[in-house]
Structures are given as structure tokens and as C-alpha cells.
Structure 1
């Protein structure tokens, strides 16, 4: 272990784990425990045994691997692990209700991984097409936890200008086309990605990495092409999937409003996209939010009050 990493990890309650520990927690990364892939590896369910009489601790294990889809150079997964550990140990972020809690990490030869202290049901990518993922759950989204930090932990945190890997383009299907040309990331890029997520949730469509070489349009490209805001028919102004429209809690006006919001978020010109505060205000006006405020209000109020944090370069120790 290099001295930079050792200095960054001291002191703290986070456990240093071996790769054998990760294999034990996940039953050798069994198919039954496999949840899904992220941009640079995979995510699995896990159990940490806590003694003969105690119930096992349910955790989520994430490991970085050599990607077949994304170009990588030696040492980059190590940097991604370092970035994530800095992020998840930053005290002003650890209190955020959607942030995962770090249980431990693995830094062993070429094996890099983290263990989160929470039970994972599934990932949104897997849930989107499912019929039993109903309308209210899509609006609330199961009170999700963030476990993939994409552009933040891809070698560009905390100083994006100094440390960015120029060819890292974020999650497939969620990146605005202008980023590929200019390489400039902004809060409007985050709004674009959120708009794609909204479209995924309401249309039951996802972009699959195995289709990246095909001519199939991204979900946001398809939505931009078929959306019609000028028609007087409410149903024509909605891209909500038919099975969700049949949900007893679905209201047609909500479908039109959330579709319009999603389309605004993925506008080609970043200046035409709303701010996150405007997004939250629009979501708060939905009828389903009004009628189910007790289920939704706690997270929403926290999110409205949350302010972006500026992480300074000094938070990352200098190499020895």
C-alpha cells in the first residue's frame, strides 16, 4: 500500500478488508448475489457474519475490474477507489440521506473494492422495466442510495481540472452530446442526466451498453423525437408507459407534467434546462406528491435545502 493511501485512511472506523473477505461476503461473487454492473465493475449483495447467535450484517459489495467497454490505463481503478474513499469520508456529505455508509475497503494487489453498510434490493437500471415497480415507487424511487458516483469518482475528484481522465464519458446514455466535443462538465450536465433518469422511470426504457455500437437512438433522443407539446390531447403530451397509466394512483395531468419536465432537462442547449430548484418545485406540484406527501416530503425537503459543496484540492493529501 502506498504512503499516500495509508495517510488518507488514518484515522477512522472503516475496516481494511482482503479480497478473500469480499469473496466470503458474496459467496465467491455468486450469481444469486450479483446485482448488476456499473461503469467500471460490478455490484453484489453480501453478508458479514457477526458470531454464532447474531444475525448476519447485510451489505453491498462493489469491486472495480478491467472494463471491456471503456478504455483504461494502469492505476486508474486505484485512483477511483481513492476518490470514492475521500468522498465517503467527507463529513459534510456523510449525513446526506441518500449517501451510502462505508463499512470497509479492499486494496490488495490489483483488487480494489468497497463494502457499503446497507442492504441493497436492486438497482434502478434493473427495476425500470419491471411491471411490479409501480407509479408511486417510481416517483419516490424506494428512497434510493447512491452507490455509483460516475464522473466524480473517475479520477477527477476533488480537482476536476487537474485530474480528469479526458476520455471518461460517464454512464452510457446519460451524457449530453456536447460533452463529447468540448469535455466540459457543469451542473447543467447533472440536470441532463437527471432528465434521462426521469425518462427511464416513466417510459420503462433503458440504454443498454451492449447496444452502444448500434444505430438505436438513446432514450433521450427517442423522447425528443416523439414528444409533442403542441397537441391539445393530454395523452399525446405524455410519454408515460401504458402499463403505468393503468396504475390506480396515476393521474393524466401528472404524466404530461413530468414528461415535459424530463424533456426540458434534456434540452440540447444547457441554458434551456431548468435548475435543480426548479426541478424540485415542478415535482412538488404533481398530484401524486400532494396526495402522498407523508411518504415523499421528508426526502424532498432535505433535497431542497441541500447546497452543493465545493471540495478544495487540499482535502486530498499530497503523494509522499
Structure 2
């Protein structure tokens, strides 16, 4: 019964979020349909002095995250007689991280405001809401209606971040990814430090600086090397170029995030291919070892469910390759053996 329960759980995950994701087409110009471009202009136009006041002069105690595209702070915003919890993001240029030679900060700032103000985007509860913005000569900042607990990145290794919370967040983020893909958006920088959990542990995505398509109606050029953070980049992009980024590239990043959640491993930028999480998973998979962190295996919920990690690995392969398991007794036809052959040959398993 426990193994049948695990198989049923795997099937449920597949039905809930895997198949909707892998069946999406990449947004293309020919797929354009009427977008709702109604923009809201009731946001507060703020100054650097305002942002300093909200964040106590950008104090270290209020710093939530430092990413490749900016910094996120907690803040208190006075609106009339009320005090509102907010998050303040400062956008800056970071050429060293994603190898970009120009200054794209203003472009990212304007694009993000346009994305988050579009009615087809802003209705999602897992997408951050804008309260105001600062467009100064030296400072570009956006103020969000958000009271952040912490980033998903910081919580991954935490002992009090339990199995069921991880599963719920994975499901929520899968639906969010599908939601954005339905609206013809490619995220390009889907990573756990671009996602915060609020005080109710609801995941909120707050970074859209590299998004293309959708309400922006732009496309990726062959010279645009602004890619996902290290460790979340589909290897095929290195071979074929950044303009080959598709929905499947976002899904690859989501797959790495899933591994983060179950293994408690975070991406470390060593530039050594053997240290990459996807290569570690393959080594563990080949050796028949579990990638689930031991503390999660001993979690009472995990033990009760008896979630089959091998089945989870097959599910991930289904997700990124569109390859469906066939009931055959031939060991060479098994998906895990196919994965090992593809990687041994230097081939991608992404469809």
C-alpha cells in the first residue's frame, strides 16, 4: 500500500503541474492576441529620501536579499495615519554576474513596471503588487505591497522548513510558471532568491527584470546574454545561443529549484561543471542513491507518505523531456537508462 500511495502521489503531481507545463508552446510573434495594456497610475511617485525613510537608511537589518539584479529591503511606509509593511527593491547593474556589457537598469525598471501594472498579470496572488516607484538620476527603486519573511533561497537549508511546506510551495510555483507561460511570458531568471515567502509562507515572485514576451511583445536577440542565474541555465543555451531560450528553459530552472527543495542543496557558483546540481543528481541517480535530504526522510509526513524518490526522478525527466514511461520489461528501454545514455553522449534530455 505505501508504494501504491507513493505512485498515486507522483501521478497527482504529474496531473497537477507537470503536464500543463511541458505542453506549452514558446511564445512567438505569430501567437499574438489582444493584450490588456490598461496601466494604473495611482502609484506613489517617490524620492530617494522616501526610500531611505522607509528602510531606515537601507539598514543591514532590513536587507532581505542581494541578487544579480538588485537588493530587496523590508520597510515601513506611512500612508496618512497608517503604517504599512512594504518591500523596497533597488535596481542596479551587475555586469559581472550575467556577462552583459551595457547598462540595462532603466530598461528593466520600465519593463517591470509595465508587466506588474498589466491587468492580465497583476491578478495573480503569487506575483508582487506595486505601491510606488522612485525614478531618480542615480536610484531606480520599486516599492511593493509585501511583508517578506525571507527568500526561498535562505529557507531551503532551514530545519524548520518542513516537507509539506516544500511540496506546497513547489505546487504553487509550478502553477505560477504555467500562469505566466499561458500569457506568453518567458521569465529567464527563475530562481529561489527571486522568490520571497510572506508572513503566511505564501511564495511571491518579485523579480521580472529579464522577462520577455507577453505585454512587452519583445523577443530575445542572439546578442542578449542576460540569462538565468548560474546553476539554473539550460545547457543547450550555451551551445545554441540565448535566442533559443524557450518555455522549456524556464522549466529546466524549475526542475533545479525542485531539487533544491528536496535535497536542501543550494547552487554555489564555482563554474565547475561537476559541481552543478544537475550533474550531482545524475551521479546520485546512477548510483541508486536518494537525493532527498536525510532530515526530510525522517520527517513524519515524509515517512507516512513514503514518497518514492526514484519515481520523483522519473517525473522530473518526464517534465523536461516529454518522454513518457512505457511498460516494457527491457531494461534498456527504461527512462533512467535512457537519461544515462543521453548524458554520457553529451546530449540534452530537454525536448
Q: TM-score if structure 2 supplies the norm length?
A: 0.65
2:49 maps to which residue?
Answer: 20
For the Cα contact (< 8 Å) 1:188–1:273, is it kept in 2?
no
Of 207, 212, 217, the match for 1:158: 217
Q: CA 1:91 to 1:197, structure 2 compared with 1: closer, same or farther past 3 Å?
A: same
Q: 1:16 to 1:50 in 2, by over 3 A?
A: closer
The reply to whether residue 253 of structure 1 matches residue 307 of structure 2 is yes
Per-residue deviation at 1:77? 0.4
* Structure 2 CA distance for partners of 1:204 and 1:150, relative to 1, 3 Å: farther
Within 1, Cα distance between the matches of 2:80 and 2:276?
Answer: 48
- Indicate conservation of the 8 Å contact 1:62/1:113, yes or no: yes
Shift of 1:151: 3.2
The 5 A counterparts of 1:139-158 are: 139-141=167-169, 142-149=201-208, 151-152=210-211, 157-158=216-217
CA distance in 1, matches of 2:223, 2:293: 37
Following TM superposition, by how much is the alpha carbon of 1:271 offset from its aligned partner in structure 2, in angstroms?
Answer: 5.3
Unpaired segments ≥5 residues, structure 2: 1-36, 170-200, 326-351
Equivalent-residue separation in structure 2 for 1:58 and 1:198 (angstroms): 30
Indicate the residue corresponding to 2:263 in structure 1. Answer: 203
- Which of 275, 293, 296 is residue 244 of structure 1 equivalent to? 296
The alignment partner of 1:29 has SS state of coil
Q: Equivalent of 1:104, from 132, 145, 169?
A: 132
| 1:69 matched residue in structure 2 | 97
Counterparts in 2 of 1:43 and 1:66: CA distance versus 1, 3 Å: same
Do the aligned partners of residues 94 and 39 (structure 1) sit closer, same or farther apart at CA in structure 2, a change above 3 Å counting? same
Pairs aligned (count): 252
| TM-score under structure 1 length normalisation | 0.71
Say which is worse superposed, 212-221 or 95-104, in terms of deviation: 212-221
2:235 paired residue among 177, 183, 188 = 177
1:79-106 deviation digits (Å, cap 9, x = unpaired): 0001101100111111112111111111
Q: Note if 1:194 corresponds to 2:254.
A: yes
Secondary structure at the counterpart of residue 69 of structure 1: helix
Aligned to 1:279: none
Paired residue for 1:84, among 108, 112, 115? 112
C-alpha contact 1:240 1:259 (8 A) present in aligned 2? no
Secondary structure of 2:149's aligned partner: coil
Displacement of 1:127 in angstroms is 0.7
Q: What residue is the counterpart of 1:299 in the other structure? A: none
Q: Residue 349 of structure 2 corresponds to which residue in structure 1? A: none
> How far apart, in 2, do the equivalents of 1:28 and 1:165 lie?
38
- The CA RMSD measured in Å over matched residues stands at 2.8
Cα offsets for 1:131-176 (capped at 9, x unmatched): 111111111123311101253069x9431146x7611111221110
| Preserved contact between residue 199 and residue 259 of structure 1 (Cα < 8 Å) | no
CA shift, 1:257, in A, is 3.4
Secondary structure of 1:227's counterpart equals helix
In 1, the alpha carbon distance for the partners of 2:298 and 2:137 equals 52
Residue 220 of structure 1 and its aligned partner are, at CA, apart by 1.5
Name the residue aligned to 1:132: 160
Structure 1: give runs of 5+ residues left out of the alignment: 1-7, 275-320
- Could you say if the C-alpha distance between residues 218 and 264 of structure 1 is closer, same or farther in structure 2, counting changes exceeding 3 Å? farther
Query: Could you tell me whether the CA contact under 8 Å between 2:39 and 2:117 is conserved in 1?
Result: no
